[in-house]
Amino acid sequence: MIFLLLAVVAILCATRAMTVLEAARIEAAHPPSGRFVEVDGGKLHVLELDAAASDDPLPVVLVHGASGNLEDLRLALGERLAASRRIILVDRPGLGWSERPGGAADASPARQAALIVQALERIGVGRFVLLGHSLGGAVASALALAFPARVAGLVLLAPVTHPWKGGLAWYNAVLSMPVLGPIFARTIAVPLALLLLNRGVAEVFEPQPPPADYVRRAAIRLLLRPAQFVANAQDLAALKPFVSVQAPRYGEISAPTVILTGSADTTVSPHIHARAMAAAMPHARLIMLPGVGHMPHHAAADVVVAAIGQLSMPEARDTTTSTLTSA
């Protein structure tokens, strides 16, 4: 028995050392690309991409989904949108390079929305067009409900909006536990994640392939740092209870809204989430993208960019919900 115990301790010490070294390599490879903005108790990492000349006074704020950071939306949309508009990308609290000042309490999309609004206030942003992807869609929806005067238009990409059957993957369930989660994140999680990372990325993009060199270009390995690993799991654990309470309020969202979802999305069901939300909202337009998976901002960037542009037009405030198709 003593030898088994010693073997377990040795393995944990080795994986802990590997985690520390890997985290240092990851941070060196993917330093902050923006600046740090003070919010209550901490700082959020914010990247601004300013158009050299723009006639549109409304900036666009981009909020990323789970297991990622602002570089994903920057890669797909940021530089392109910045050719004509001011673009602001935010690492959600605890993800990317943003701090998580409230700890586990900051897993709430409502709390994340409040911190994002604080950061935007600090950099002088009043009204804006808001885009949220996946879990970021729950955050964007919470922001639109809590701060309606700030949101001039809302774009939701494959958003998580309603409760669904099933629970957390086993590793996220472990990571979200108060004591065991941090221990797991600092030892076993990183070696395990390195083995599964490429397959996980491919599954999220299916049936489309990921962009070339996506893991590096989108700084996905930032997720493997222990604190971020735990924060991401806490976000996922809090998501279903949160949207269960928020879902009945979607009819209160007054901002003109475009919801884009892929018909082939197996990560976030377009029927449980996007279709149901569009049906509940008086100012929403649903765009169903045939054959597209969970990453429409990569697979159908032209459609997403057009939707953002349409929110600046008077007809965007049409209260009729319609369904479009796009290749």
* pLDDT interval class at 168 (50, 70, 90): confident
Where do the domains of the chain lie, and which CATH numbers do they carry? 2-325 (3.40.50.1820)
pTM: 0.90
pLDDT at 319: 37
Is the separation of the CB atoms in 87 and 48 below 8 Å? Answer: yes
Choose the weakest-confidence range: 67-81, 85-99, 304-318: 304-318
Mean pLDDT, residues 296-318 taken together: 81
pLDDT at 190: 77
CA distances from 94 to 60, 89, 105, 245 (A): 22, 15, 11, 23
Is the separation of the CB atoms in 87 and 60 below 8 Å? Answer: yes
Tens digit of each residue's pLDDT (9 = 90 or more) over 84-126: 899 999 999 999 999 999 999 999 999 999 999 999 999 999 9
Q: Flag whether pLDDT at 231 surpasses 70.
A: yes
Bridge-based pairing of strands 257-262 and 151-157 is parallel
pLDDT at 325: 36
Percent residues over pLDDT 90 in the chain: 70
Which tops the pLDDT comparison, 178 or 110? 110
